[in-house]
């Protein structure tokens, strides 16, 4: 097998043609352009080299790929996970799988319950996560969900499971909290 980089057109021609000065000059010129093209191709392997790219290049790549819910202040491992999953996110955008993947990539373990799994209204859903999303993290969590959920879907609740206790937050359309932290399921349901 012939290596494209470093080969010449005259290597493939019969001796009667390859000895012509014009053909040799043409072969040399084409060979130099192929070497440049191979060098550019080697430098363009960014998607295959995400695990070794520096932080600044990851930020640029996220902008180029339009990675959903990407922020520059995320840890390096989170940035890499989001960029690697960008194409999958776009293929699954608006589905339960997309919400689960992005919640897991940024906030930790998460699961989405659709309306028919908890007897809710059509197109509504709940999210259960192990992440402590309070204060500023809550706003970021809601922005992340809005970036990947279906436009018609409505978030009913965010349920946070930490160290054996359930923190129960009800998401209201006007972005207000109904905080029932530390309650059991029965107490939280009775408080509604």
Buried-exposed string 66-80: b where 16+ CB fall within 10 A, e elsewhere: ebbbbeeebeeeebb
How do residues 24-63 score in pLDDT, each as one tens digit?
888 888 889 888 888 888 777 777 788 888 888 899 999 9
How many Å apart are CA 122 and CA 113, to the nearest integer? 12
How many Å apart are CA 26 and CA 21, to the nearest integer? 9
pTM above 0.85, yes or no: no
Q: Which residues contact 181 (CB under 8 A, 6 or more apart)?
A: 167, 168, 169
**Among candidate residues 149, 137, 165, 173, the one with its CA nearest the CA of residue 127:** 149
How do residues 147-187 score in pLDDT, each as one tens digit?
888 888 888 888 877 665 555 555 544 333 344 445 555 55
**How does the average pLDDT of the chain come out, rounded?**
79
How many Å apart are CA 70 and CA 106, to the nearest integer? 9
Q: CB count, 10 Å around CB of 134?
A: 14
Return the SS3 of 154: strand
């Amino acid at each position: 097998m012939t290596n494209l980089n470093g080969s010449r057109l005259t290597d493939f021609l019969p001796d009667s043609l390859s000895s012509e000065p014009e053909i040799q000059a043409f072969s040399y010129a084409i060979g130099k352009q192929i070497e440049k093209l191979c060098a550019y191709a080697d430098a363009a392997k960014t998607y295959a080299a995400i695990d070794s790219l520096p932080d600044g290049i990851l930020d640029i790549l996220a902008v180029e790929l339009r990675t959903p819910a990407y922020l520059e202040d995320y840890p390096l491992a989170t940035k890499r996970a989001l960029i690697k999953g960008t194409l999958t996110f776009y293929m699954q955008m608006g589905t339960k799988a997309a919400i689960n993947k992005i919640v897991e990539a940024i906030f930790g373990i998460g699961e989405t319950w659709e309306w028919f799994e908890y007897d809710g209204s059509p197109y509504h859903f709940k999210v259960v996560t192990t992440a402590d999303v309070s204060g500023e993290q809550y706003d970021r969590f809601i922005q992340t969900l809005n970036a990947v959920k279906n436009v018609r879907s409505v978030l009913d609740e965010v349920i946070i499971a930490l160290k054996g206790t359930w923190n129960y937050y009800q998401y209201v359309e006007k972005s207000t909290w109904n905080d029932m932290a530390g309650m059991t399921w029965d107490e939280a349901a009775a408080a509604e």
